[in-house]
Structures are given as structure tokens and as C-alpha cells.
Structure 1
Amino acid sequence: MKLVTFEVNNEQKFGIYTEEGIVDLSAKTGLKDIKSALEENKFESLSTYANDAVDYKMDEVKLLPVVTNPSKIFCAGVNYDEHRLETKRDHTQHPTIFFRVPRSQVAHNAPMIIPHESERFDFEGEIAIVINKEGRRISQEDAYDYIAGYSCYNDGSVRDYQLHTSQWGPGKNFEHTGAFGPWLVTADEFEPGEVLTLETRLNGEVMQKADTSLLLFSIPELIEYVSSFITLEPGDVIVTGTPGGVGAKRQPPVFMKDGDIVEVEVSKIGILTNPIKSEKLMQSEQVTDGAVEVTNS
């Protein structure tokens, strides 16, 4: 089952994605989003509506990030060996974890924005998981019981700011720089430990390719580690790391520019697609438009 969060008539809803369109779960359950369904223990019952007639065609809605309001977004850094080697980092005994804020995220097909302050906006294709229930000090053996589903993620990185200091937070949290979507594929569609392939493409050219067998810290290890220091809650997101091939480490470097199209494809999930827009050019266009309006008034 594929679950989407969307907006229609300025109202946030969520539903089941099908090839014909979207089944409106908000209308059927009175819930507004995936997180609410998890918190109220109604998530598993959503499948009963899977064969209902669709309420909206895809071109009638605006997609939103899969979980719009997670209380926590954890990201694993340098979690593929090829990426560790290209960044010249030592293999650590524990995962490298940093945080994102919800406001930094955009949805499938929404533009990822190159900030005014940046000339080095980079792609990072990843796989994200969403937590289904509260848990603390979760063992690796029990970890898969805490996964609601899987999605694609682009941990867009403002390298200029990321490298200001040893702390990555600023470079990972500019508004509209990370993408999350297009939908959540529920965990019952996967076998525990099933190997998933990940590919990132920039303007159709493959830039990153790997699979989850190459993770330095597996998904159960990440869940165990993160839950050792904080309680995981329904709707929390764990982004599992990017493979080698990031733009900053290419020779010459390849950074995203206005007009580019970036895609993150994960097997059994789908393709997350985002155009790239420059905040500088957007501001310039607004000024130009304003000048035209003044001239013609």
C-alpha cells in the first residue's frame, strides 16, 4: 500500500495512492495525516479502504512531504563505505547522526531551492523509514516491528554552510532543500532485511548507485542506536545515508543549478523527482515582474 499526504482546496489530507488516483483517507477516518493514524493506532486498518473508488486524480492535488510534522528527523551520515572513502573519514564504531527540521523538506515534484547564500548545492539520494510506534532501547531483533514503511529521500546539502565547522546542522536545514516522497510504501510490502537498490540521477545521468547490503550500519542498527538515546515516536523519520558519488567529491565537482532535474529511485518504492530552482533567480524575477507592473500602472 502506498500512502500519500496531499493538499486540496487549501486543506491537508492523506490517502492511498493507486494508478487511478487517490482514495481520501481523511474523509473516511477523520484523520488528517499519516502521523495521526499511527498515533491513534489506526494505521493497520487503513488497508480496508484500498479497493475503494478514488476521490481525486493526481492532477487535482498538491503532494506534500510524506510526513509533514515529524517530531524528529534523524539522518545517518557517511553510512556507505564508498561515501566514507570519498570524504576521507575513518570508519567509526557508532553511526554518525545529525538532525533535520520539518521546514527544510519539500514534496515530490516541488522545487528544491538553491539558497541565496550558496554556490554549492549538492544531491544526496537516500532511503527513509518512518517509525510506527513509541519505543526506547529497541533491540536490532525487534527493529523491523517499529517500521511503518519506506520512502525516498533527497538530503540536499548546502555544502558551503555544511563545511563552515565540524557541525553539519546549518548546511542540512536551509528551507526547501530536502525532498521526501513521493509516498510511503507500507512495511508489509517488504521482507525484513530485504535488499533495496538506490539510484540518484541528475538530468538523467546516474550519479549514485548502491544497495542496502552496503550500509555500514544497517537499518536495525540505526534504530537500535537512535532509540538508545531518545524515545522514538510515531511519525519519526530516520534517513539512512547516501552512497558515494556526491557532487562535491567529483572531479570536477558537480553541483545542482537552476533548471536541473534530480531523481532518487528506490526499488519497490518508486521515483522522487524534484526540479532545482535558484533563490537568487527567483528573487530577480520577482523584482523584474514588480518593475513591469509599476511601469504599466
Structure 2
Amino acid sequence: MRLLTFRMGADTRWGLSTADGVLDIAAAQEELNGDARPFTPSCDRLAELSELLERAKGHEDLFFDEADLQLGPCLPVANKIICIGLNYRRHAREANMAEPKAPILFAKYNNCLASAHDNINLPTTRYQYDYESELAVVIGKQVKRVSPEEALDCVFGYCVANDLSERELQMSAGQWTIGKMLDGFLPVGPYLVTADEVGDPQNLGIRCWVNGELRQDSNTSDMIFSVAELISYISCYATLEPGDIIVTGTPEGVILGMENKVWLKPGDEVVVEIDKLGRLSNRMTTTDN
């Protein structure tokens, strides 16, 4: 299944993308099941969601044309956003850094979440703006100290992410989070694709274009620590819960690794695409703040 969110006035609503259009999940739950619970991306609601879709067939009032919708982030609110640094072998080499012996973790926050088509503001007080195409993992079960062999069972789904960064802040402050936590600096979407449709997360092509120029062209098989290993490692120290996001690292081809660094600027368009998950396209802009 392919989930998304869409904006309706001041509300952000969950939808299910189908061949018949986008099913308004909240409206369908209330009309067909008398259920007013908010939808959450938890594994125990997948069967319920499939049944809801079957019951909604023929109820045209519950579906929207996706082209008419203003999409939101495919996960509008996260419990935790845990990001991984230097997790692709060739990216570590381009950064002239040794492959890490354990995953490098840093944080982003809900203010970073943006949609697949939002404009992203670049404050004019900084200029070393960079892109990072990444596979994002959305957790669907509460887990603690899960083994790598069982870790993928707790995944609700996957989505495309762009871990935008301001490199001067990231590198000069002695820690990474300050250069990563700017407003809108984690576009995700357009879809949250359930794990059963994705299959092996370690065999997905991942690409990034800037103004039509291909900058990153890799595969998740180049990860140093697999998705399962990341989930297992993190869960040793923090309980993972439905709605947590793990952003798994970027492949080679970022501006930071280039000899001639031309940083992102207002007007640039960054497109990120991952096999089976779709693509997000964001225009860089500025409001002089």
C-alpha cells in the first residue's frame, strides 16, 4: 500500500493512493466503521487498512483525484527522527573519512519535515547548503533490543528523504545536529510505501538530480550498516515506537565531497528518487531570514 498525507485547510489528513484515487482514511473510517480514531502508521493496523479499502470500493465520495491535492509530508509528525552519518562506503571515501565501526547518529526534529513538493527556505545568513538523497524507514512496532534477524518485522514502511544540510554549521560546531535541524530540511514522500511492497531494502536504486544534472546514482547495497543492523543497534539504547523515522545515510555525490563546491542556492531544484518509492522534487527559495 502507498500512503500519503494531504492538506485540507488547516488540517493534514491521511490518504491511501489507489488506482481509483486517494482514499480519505479518516472519512472512510468514520462513514463505514463509525471509527473516529486518528490513523497511525503501526503494523497492527495494516489488516484493518486493507479491509477499509475493500469496503470503500464504490463509495466515490471518499476518494479524491491525487492531482487535485496539496500533499503534505508522508509522515506529518514523527516521535523520533534518527539520522545516520557516513553509512555508504563510497560516500565515506569521497569524504576522506574511515568507515565507522559503529553507526554515527544525529537528530532532526518535526520542524524539519516537509512535503515532496514544498519550497525549502535557505536562510541568507548561511550559504553552504547541500543535498543528501536517503532511504527513510518508518517504524511500526514498539521494539527494544531487537535482533538484526527480527528487526525488519518492526518496519511499517519506507519513503524517500532529502537530508538537507548547512555544512559550515555542521562541521564547525563540533556536532552535526545544528547544521541539519533547519526548518524544512527533511522533505519526505510523496508516499510512505508499506514494507511488504518494498521487499529487500538493501537492493534499491537511489538517485539525486540538481537542476536536471544527475549528482547521485547508487544503490542501498552500498550501505555499511544495513537497515536491519541500524534498527537493532538503535533499539539497544532507545525504545523504538510506531512513527519513529530512521534516515539511513546518503551515497556518494554530495557537494561536500566535490573539489569545486557550488552550494545550493535559491532557485535550484533538487529531485530525489528511490526505486519502488517514487520521487520528491523541492525548489530552494529564500525569504531573507
**Alignment of 1:28 onto 2:36:** no
SS in 1 for 2:127: coil
Amino acid at match of 2:210: L
Unaligned runs of 5+ in 2: 30-35
Please report how far the alpha carbon of residue 60 of structure 1 lies from its aligned counterpart in structure 2 after TM superposition: 3.3
Contact 1:101–1:173 (CA<8 Å) still a contact in 2? yes
Counterpart for residue 247 of structure 1:
255
From 220, 225, 238, the equivalent of 2:233 is 225
Deviations 1:173-230 (A, max 9, x none): 0111221111101111132455111001111111011111110000001001110100
Counterpart for residue 17 of structure 1:
17
Amino acid at match of 2:144: R
SS in 2 for 1:279: coil
From 37, 42, 47, the equivalent of 2:45 is 42
Q: Percent identity?
A: 34
**Alignment of 1:4 onto 2:4:** yes
Contact 2:41–2:242 (CA<8 Å) still a contact in 1? no
Counterpart for residue 204 of structure 1:
212
Q: State the alpha-carbon separation in 1 of the partners of residues 53 and 274 from structure 2.
A: 23
Please report how far the alpha carbon of residue 9 of structure 1 lies from its aligned counterpart in structure 2 after TM superposition: 2.8
Contact 1:78–1:242 (CA<8 Å) still a contact in 2? yes
SS in 2 for 1:163: helix
SS in 1 for 2:23: strand
Please report how far the alpha carbon of residue 248 of structure 1 lies from its aligned counterpart in structure 2 after TM superposition: 2.0
Map 1:125-274 onto structure 2 (within 5 A). 125-193=133-201, 195-274=203-282
Q: State the alpha-carbon separation in 1 of the partners of residues 137 and 47 from structure 2.
A: 16
Amino acid at match of 1:10: A
Deviations 1:50-83 (A, max 9, x none): 4634622224322111212111011110101111
Please report how far the alpha carbon of residue 49 of structure 1 lies from its aligned counterpart in structure 2 after TM superposition: 3.7
Which consecutive aligned stretches of 4+ in structure 1 deviate over 6 angstroms post-superposition?
none
Contact 1:80–1:214 (CA<8 Å) still a contact in 2? yes
More divergent stretch after superposition (43-52 vs 88-97): 43-52
Contact 1:31–1:37 (CA<8 Å) still a contact in 2? no
What is the TM-score when the length of structure 1 is the normalising length?
Answer: 0.89
Counterpart for residue 291 of structure 1:
none
Q: State the alpha-carbon separation in 2 of the partners of residues 15 and 71 from structure 1.
A: 20
Q: How many residues align?
A: 278
Q: State the alpha-carbon separation in 1 of the partners of residues 42 and 218 from structure 2.
A: 31
Q: RMSD over aligned Cα, in angstroms?
A: 1.7
Cα 1:193/1:231, change in 2 over 3 Å: same
Q: State the alpha-carbon separation in 2 of the partners of residues 72 and 188 from structure 1.
A: 23
Contact 1:264–1:273 (CA<8 Å) still a contact in 2? yes
Please report how far the alpha carbon of residue 122 of structure 1 lies from its aligned counterpart in structure 2 after TM superposition: 0.5
Please report how far the alpha carbon of residue 5 of structure 1 lies from its aligned counterpart in structure 2 after TM superposition: 1.3
Counterpart for residue 85 of structure 2:
77
Q: State the alpha-carbon separation in 1 of the partners of residues 41 and 273 from structure 2.
A: 26
Amino acid at match of 2:10: N
Q: State the alpha-carbon separation in 2 of the partners of residues 251 and 42 from structure 1.
A: 48
Cα 1:187/1:93, change in 2 over 3 Å: same
SS in 2 for 1:229: coil
What is the TM-score when the length of structure 2 is the normalising length?
Answer: 0.91
Amino acid at match of 1:226: I
Contact 1:200–1:208 (CA<8 Å) still a contact in 2? yes
Cα 1:194/1:176, change in 2 over 3 Å: closer
Cα 1:117/1:193, change in 2 over 3 Å: same
**Alignment of 1:66 onto 2:74:** yes
Counterpart for residue 289 of structure 1:
none
Counterpart for residue 293 of structure 1:
none
SS in 2 for 1:200: strand
SS in 2 for 1:153: strand
Cα 1:83/1:111, change in 2 over 3 Å: same
Q: State the alpha-carbon separation in 2 of the partners of residues 193 and 125 from structure 1.
A: 15
